[in-house]
């Protein structure tokens, strides 16, 4: 069979934009504030930042290395680099994890579309917290509406993925990601200058360490991996589209920095406003969807800002769902040899089959509850707190111990062309620190030993 040329990213900035597009999404703007609010605020933020630096960057770099070296999808890469071993299982786990994440992620992505329509019709104007909360919960109880938006969102994702890497993913990410950053900065200024904002800033920046425990640690670990898109092969897949002369270490660093910046900014937008308007920091799902319209109501030009914000939120979600779907599609195309079009259709349909339950599980009195958790929460927990950490740990072990020093240096220095002064330190972290730290947090977080 003739080998078709693999798609690739066209430029350095394109790779960073696309990988940052994958990383920056609902995880930063929606999930991060929820987790922070539920886990006591500033102490969580500190732990989060430490984990980003010590574990997030090394895992991301490892994924890039695996992807670029093998030039293959999440499963194929392990098959190529470690033939006749059990390592490809890590890739399968990643594809499965992508499927699980996409199933519930698309639910919230769908909400962004509903909220775009609502802002178009000026539907938040003059409403107070109680009304917004009521409307948000009424919306969840309209199961069919959630499912419709979700399906539409998956359809859009499929459309871009079908068009391929350079023309689809890269083109959109390059323009829209910087726009999102700018609007968040404007919002952060507005929120931090609201009356009573100080308390929110204190919640975010004055840590209370008595709140730290195993559960907070694993939540932070899960949130870091989820937010950086690492641990499941999304960045192995994107790494396989990176060219041989690009600098993997600085790429990983830029992506991590942008992702973290957006998350912290989102915190500065949400919490001062939440405290100012009396939204509980533990409000969970409503934290973002109810607090933000309240800020817009207080702003000159609020109508326009609100609309732009929800459009950009939808786009941020889209660049992430694209990377999730791409993991499945690249696998189906390269390993199962299905045409890209049918691979996309199949992956979208399969995701929708599971996704419906995630959406419908948020209605009052829903039957879709397993072990006390809604299907939505269950899928979130399974992927973020179990599959991603385990996947991330195996990925660093693979690079540190299986690929080994020589290949690691070869890849990170582009065969000796780049000078990376701290490469020994990075390898040390990948080999020893990262796997151990992940294992300890994981075991403690699940309460297996104290
Ligand atoms: N990182 C994305 C976000 O924060 C979610 C994601 C997770 C995307 C894993 C790809 C892989 O929204």
Assign 131 to helix, strand or coil: helix
pLDDT in tens, 240-262: 989 899 999 999 999 999 999 99
Atom of ligand 1 at shortest range from CA of 27: 4
Q: Which residues pair with residue 374 across a beta bridge?
A: 369
Assign 21 to helix, strand or coil: helix
Query: 45 CA to middle of ligand 1, Å?
Result: 18
Q: Is 25 in the pocket of ligand 1 (CB under 6 A)?
A: yes
Q: Is 22 in the pocket of ligand 1 (CB under 6 A)?
A: yes
Q: Is 112 in the pocket of ligand 1 (CB under 6 A)?
A: no
Q: Is 351 in the pocket of ligand 1 (CB under 6 A)?
A: no
Q: Is 237 in the pocket of ligand 1 (CB under 6 A)?
A: no
Query: 195 CA to middle of ligand 1, Å?
Result: 34
Q: What is the pLDDT along the chain (450 residues), one digit of tens a residue?
A: 344 467 777 777 778 888 999 999 999 999 999 999 999 899 999 999 999 999 999 999 999 999 999 999 999 999 999 999 999 999 999 999 999 999 999 999 999 999 999 999 999 999 999 999 999 999 999 999 999 999 999 999 999 898 876 666 677 767 777 888 898 999 999 999 999 999 999 999 999 888 888 889 999 999 999 999 999 999 999 999 898 999 999 999 999 999 999 999 999 999 999 999 999 999 888 899 999 999 899 888 899 989 988 998 998 999 999 999 999 999 999 999 999 999 999 999 999 999 999 999 999 999 999 989 999 999 999 999 999 999 999 999 999 999 999 999 999 999 999 999 999 999 999 999 999 999 999 888 777 655
- Token reading at 301: 């030009």
Atom of ligand 1 at shortest range from CA of 234: 11
Q: Are 348 and 332 in contact (CB under 8 A)?
A: no
Rg (CA), the chain: 21
Query: 370 CA to middle of ligand 1, Å?
Result: 24
What pTM value is reported for the model? 0.94
Measured between alpha carbons, how far is 231 from 437 in angstroms, rounded to an integer?
Answer: 15
Atom of ligand 1 at shortest range from CA of 25: 12
């Amino acid at each position: 069979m003739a080998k078709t040329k693999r798609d690739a990213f066209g430029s350095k900035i394109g790779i960073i934009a696309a990988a940052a597009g994958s990383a920056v999404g609902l995880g930063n703007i929606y999930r991060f504030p929820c987790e922070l609010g539920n886990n006591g605020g500033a102490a969580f933020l500190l732990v989060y930042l430490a984990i980003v630096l010590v574990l997030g960057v090394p895992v991301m770099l490892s994924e890039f290395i695996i992807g670029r070296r093998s030039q293959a999808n999440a499963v194929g890469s392990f098959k190529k680099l470690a033939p006749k071993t059990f390592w490809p299982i890590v890739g399968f786990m990643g594809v499965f994890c992508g499927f699980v994440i996409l199933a519930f992620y698309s639910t919230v992505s769908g909400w962004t579309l509903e909220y775009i329509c609502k802002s178009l019709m000026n539907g938040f104007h003059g409403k107070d917290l109680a009304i917004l909360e009521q409307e948000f919960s009424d919306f969840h109880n309209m199961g069919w509406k959630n499912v419709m938006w979700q399906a539409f969102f998956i359809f859009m994702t499929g459309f871009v993925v079908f068009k391929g890497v350079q023309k689809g993913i890269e083109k959109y990410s390059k323009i829209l990601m910087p726009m999102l950053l700018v609007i968040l900065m404007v919002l952060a200024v507005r929120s931090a200058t609201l009356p009573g904002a100080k308390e929110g800033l204190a919640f975010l920046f004055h840590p209370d360490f008595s709140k730290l425990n195993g559960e907070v640690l694993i939540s932070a670990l899960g949130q870091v991996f989820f937010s950086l898109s690492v641990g499941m092969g999304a960045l192995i897949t994107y790494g396989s589209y990176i060219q041989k002369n690009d600098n993997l270490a600085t790429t990983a660093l830029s992506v991590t920095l942008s992702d973290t910046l957006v998350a912290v900014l989102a915190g500065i937008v949400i919490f001062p406003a939440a405290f100012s308007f009396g939204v509980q920091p533990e409000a969970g799902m409503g934290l973002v969807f109810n607090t933000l319209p309240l800020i817009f109501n207080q702003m000159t030009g609020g109508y326009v800002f609100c609309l732009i914000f929800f459009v950009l939120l939808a786009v941020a979600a889209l660049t992430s769902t694209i990377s999730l779907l791409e993991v499945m599609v690249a696998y189906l195309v390269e390993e199962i040899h299905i045409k890209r079009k049918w691979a996309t259709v199949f992956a979208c349909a399969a995701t929708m089959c599971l996704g419906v339950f995630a959406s419908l599980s948020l209605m009052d009195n829903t039957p879709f509850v397993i072990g006390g958790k809604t299907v939505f929460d269950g899928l979130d927990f399974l992927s973020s707190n179990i599959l991603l950490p385990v996947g991330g740990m195996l990925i660093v072990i693979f690079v540190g111990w299986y690929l080994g020093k020589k290949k690691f240096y070869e890849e990170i220095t582009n065969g000796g062309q780049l000078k990376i002064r701290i490469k020994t330190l990075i390898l040390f972290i990948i080999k020893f620190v990262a796997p151990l730290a992940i294992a300890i947090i994981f075991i403690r977080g699940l309460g297996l030993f104290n």
